Structure 1
Amino acid sequence: MDVPELLEAASLLVPEKIATENDITVSDVWEYLAHDEWEVALDLLEELGDVHPLPVGFWENLAIAAERMSLDRSAAWCHWRGFETRHGILRADLTLRTAAGARRHTPISGAGVLRPMWNIGNRTASGEPALDIARLWVEFMPSLEPGGRASVRLAPLDPARWRHLRPGLVITMHEARSVAGTAVVLEVQQPPAAVTA
Structure 2
Amino acid sequence: MDVVAMLEAARLLVPEGAAGEGDVTVADVWDCLAHDEWEVALGLLEELREGWTTPAGFWAELARAAAMLRLERSEAWCRWREYEGRAGVIRAELALEPVGGTSFRRTPMPGAGVMRPLWDIGSRRPDGAPDLLVACMWVEYARELAPGDRAVVRLLPLTPERWLHLAPGDRIALHETAVPGGTGTVLEARPPAPAGRALRPEPRVGA
- 1:178 CA drift (Å): 2.7
| Letter aligned with residue 107 of structure 2 | T
Matches within 5 A, 1:1-197: 1-48=1-48, 50-51=49-50, 52-101=52-101, 102-191=103-192
> 1:191: Cα distance to partner?
4.6
Q: Given the superposition, is the C-alpha separation of residues 175 and 56 from structure 1 closer, same or farther in structure 2, using an over 3 Å criterion?
A: farther
- 1:115-140 CA-to-partner distances (Å, cap 9, x unmatched) read 10001111223332111011111111
Moved more, 16-25 or 27-36: 16-25
**Any conservation in 2 of the 1:56–1:86 contact (CA below 8 Å)?**
no
Q: How many Å separate the matches in 1 of 2:138 and 2:39?
A: 22
Q: Judge conservation of contact 2:11–2:29 (CA < 8 Å) in 1.
A: yes
State how far apart, in whole Å, the 1-side matches of 2:148 and 2:23 are.
38
**For 1:123, what is the secondary structure of its paired residue?**
coil
Where 2:17 maps in the other structure, the secondary structure is: coil
Structure 1's consecutive aligned runs of 4 or more residues displaced over 4 angstroms after TM superposition are 191-194
Say how many residue pairs are matched.
193
What SS does the aligned partner of 1:73 have?
A: helix
Aligned with 1:93: secondary structure?
A: strand
For the residue of structure 2 that corresponds to 1:130, the secondary structure is coil
Q: 2: distance between equivalents of 1:112 and 1:154?
A: 9
Q: Deviations over 1:49-71 (max 9, x none)?
A: x2222124100111111122121
Q: The residue matched to 2:156 in structure 1 has which SS?
A: strand
| Identical pairs, percent | 55
- CA-based RMSD of the aligned residues comes to 1.8
Amino acid at match of 2:144: S
Q: Cα distance 1:107–1:7, how it changes in 2: closer, same or farther (>3 A)? A: same
User: Does the CA contact (< 8 Å) of 2:21 and 2:47 recur in 1?
Assistant: no
SS at match of 2:132: strand
Q: Residue by residue, what CA displacement relative to the aligned partner does 1:6-43 show, whole Å, maximum 9, x if unpaired?
A: 11111111112323353332232122112211001101
Query: Which amino acid in 2 is paired with 1:54?
Result: T
* TM-score, structure 2 as length reference: 0.86
| Distance in 2, Cα, partners of 1:191 & 1:27 | 31
SS at match of 2:122: strand
More helix by share: 1
Distance in 2, matches of 1:2 and 1:71, equals 15
Matched residue, 2:199: none
Stretches of structure 1 that go unaligned for 5 or more consecutive residues are: none
Match of 1:29, SS state, is helix
C-alpha separation in 1, matches of 2:33 and 2:135: 36
CA deviation profile, 1:67-91 (whole Å, cap 9, x unmatched)? 2212122111111111221122111
